[in-house]
Structure 1
Amino acid sequence: MTQRMPAVQNTTLGIWLMVATTLVFALQDGVSRHLATEYNVLMVIMIRYWFFAAFVVAVAARQAGGIRQAAATRQPWLQIGRGVLLAGEVCVMVTAFVLLGLTESHAVFAVYPLLIAALSGPLLGERVGWRRWAAIGVGFVGVLVILQPGYGVFDPAALVPLLAATMFALYGLLTRYAARQDSAAVSFFWTGTVGAVFMTAVGIWFWEPMRAPDWGWMAALCVTSAFSHWLLIKAYEVAEASAVQPFAYLQLPFAAALGMAVFGETLRANVAIGAAIVVGAGLFTLWRARQRKGS
């Protein structure tokens, strides 16, 4: 049996693929916001997951070993937990888009890399030095600047994207833990298929008729969902994660621009300042992690 040759490393191409990924993710979020405003969030995410699962199965079928190899895991309950957690996080984040808009939701959600760094010590036993702890503290100051607790009337809806960020951080940590025994292809397969089964079990009860034009938007959501994951896979194939990960933060300005241009959102000063603090702290933690890896 012939072995698949590893992809040639090309950091510049990987960076551009990550930039394209974040742009498509932002477009996907915009379509999600539109559909979730008109229809039940659970139904919208369920249909999206049907297409995503079909994409995952198609990718697995083309790999060496096929679907049987992609589904082979010694930690099925962990993989099921990951899939359910991510599907739940998507539902929470799309709900945040409806409640707060793209701009403020992504400004708060940008804290998730800091949550991963903070929780990687107690949950995975990874070492987090004082510099990264300081950056994590600064990042949470940025979140407080965005949320403005104690200033006027605090909007509890602002906690929804923070919940989504926490769920996504836990998903990221579980993915790291799963990677100790399973390949990325195995985790990807379980993520899509488990998410589809879970969302079908939950979302089918909220089915409602969809207008013909919105089926076009639903198709766009499904296509961008699959395309964004394909771009992400390609980015990690041709470049190291540490080199391209900082560019994932571009999803914030892309989503904010879309929110202001299409949905009439405004960028409040405290949100802009807080987001800049959060992103700066997140980039520092990524830089420190890369420095420690290289030392």
Structure 2
Amino acid sequence: MTQQNNSRAGILLMIAATVVFALQDGISRHLAGTYNTYMVVMIRYWFFAAFVIALAARAPGGLRAAAQTSQIGLQVFRGVLLAAEICVAVFAFTVLGLIDTMAVFICYPLLVAALSGPVLGETVGWRRWSAIGVGCAGVLIILQPGVGVFNPWAIVPLISALMFALYGLLTRYAARKDSAATSFFWTGVSGAVAMTLVGMWYWEPMASSDWIWMAVLSVCGVLGHWLLIKCYEMAEASAVQPFAYFHLVWTSILGISIFGESLRPAVVVGAALVVSAGLFTLWRERRQS
């Protein structure tokens, strides 16, 4: 992948990707509220797998080059872990709503920073640990464990964030030997196989109108990943990654306008702390690199 270093185009593509992913979240919540989560994620993965296979087939060397890896166990585990994380996130949408789920989930960059030491052997300085502490305080403000009756479902998006952070770290680890194309190929294929093995036992009839939503969901998944690929072709990751937080903005708009959710003051304050800590962490990474 040849980078063009066009930051403005990269930022616009990242913002477009967050819009598409927010739509994907909203449709996922709608479908998973009516049908089984495993079935919804399984069908979504079929389209995703078809997309990565088509990309690999068009690349130099074809499918054989994309599938070539010396760490097959790691690659398969990564793909299965991401599929499981998506199931957890979609389930969280149905029990907590879009806003509360995303407000907690956006702490995953901080979890990546915290786990990069034990998983990758990277050095985490006191400034990053301070940012991680601020982010944790923000998550606690959102969850409000000491106020009234604590909702145990609030832990679900935190588990999803932890799984996604681990997936990101394993992707970084796999990149030491494999190309991004190989990792992307195994992410789609192994995830689709895993979800088919699980989801086929939960198949249920779907209304004709919902098949349309399912098709839109699948297109959003493919389009979102394509936009990200183009985004990272245009600009450095450190330049565009802060704009990934727009995902929370669009998701909140959908949650309020379509699903009738409310924006609690605790969520606003907590999310602001988490985003600020995340942006500081990204800035430190960019400065050190």
* Structure-1-length-normalised TM-score: 0.97
**Contact residue 3 and residue 235 of structure 2 kept, 8 A:** no
The corresponding residue for 2:242 is 246
Structure 1 residues 203-259: Cα deviation after superposition (integer angstroms, max 9, x where no partner):
000000000000000000000000000000000111111111111111001101111
The corresponding residue for 1:278 is 274
Structure-2 separation of matches of 1:26 and 1:220: 13
Q: Secondary structure at the match of 1:291?
A: helix
Structure-2 separation of matches of 1:82 and 1:48: 17
Q: 1:41 aligns with which of 37, 43, 64?
A: 37
The residue type equivalent to 1:120 in the other structure is S
Q: Which runs of 4+ in 1 moved over 6 A?
A: none
The residue type equivalent to 2:280 in the other structure is F
2:141 equivalent to 1:142:
no
Residues 27-176 of structure 1: matches in 2 within 5 Å?
27-176=23-172
How many equivalent pairs are there? Answer: 289
Structure-2 separation of matches of 1:48 and 1:107: 24
Aligned-pair CA distance for 1:181: 0.3
Structure-2 separation of matches of 1:168 and 1:7: 25
The corresponding residue for 2:258 is 262
Q: 1:204 aligns with which of 200, 220, 233?
A: 200
| Alignment RMSD | 0.7
The corresponding residue for 2:10 is 14
The residue type equivalent to 2:224 in the other structure is S
Residues 214-233 of structure 1: matches in 2 within 5 Å?
214-233=210-229
Aligned-pair CA distance for 1:111: 0.5
Structure-2 separation of matches of 1:132 and 1:9: 27
Aligned-pair CA distance for 1:150: 1.3
Aligned-pair CA distance for 1:96: 0.3
2:177 equivalent to 1:213:
no
Structure-1 separation of matches of 2:74 and 2:247: 28
Gaps in structure 1 of 5+ consecutive residues:
none
Structure 1 residues 160-201: Cα deviation after superposition (integer angstroms, max 9, x where no partner):
000000000000000000000001000000000000000000
Q: Secondary structure at the match of 2:277?
A: helix
The residue type equivalent to 1:138 in the other structure is V
The residue type equivalent to 1:275 in the other structure is A
Aligned-pair CA distance for 1:112: 0.3
Identity across matched positions, percent? 66
Gaps in structure 2 of 5+ consecutive residues:
none
Structure-1 separation of matches of 2:151 and 2:282: 31
The residue type equivalent to 2:251 in the other structure is A
Q: Secondary structure at the match of 1:128?
A: coil
Structure-2 separation of matches of 1:80 and 1:164: 19
Structure-2 separation of matches of 1:20 and 1:83: 25
**Contact residue 113 and residue 124 of structure 2 kept, 8 A:** yes
2:288 equivalent to 1:292:
yes
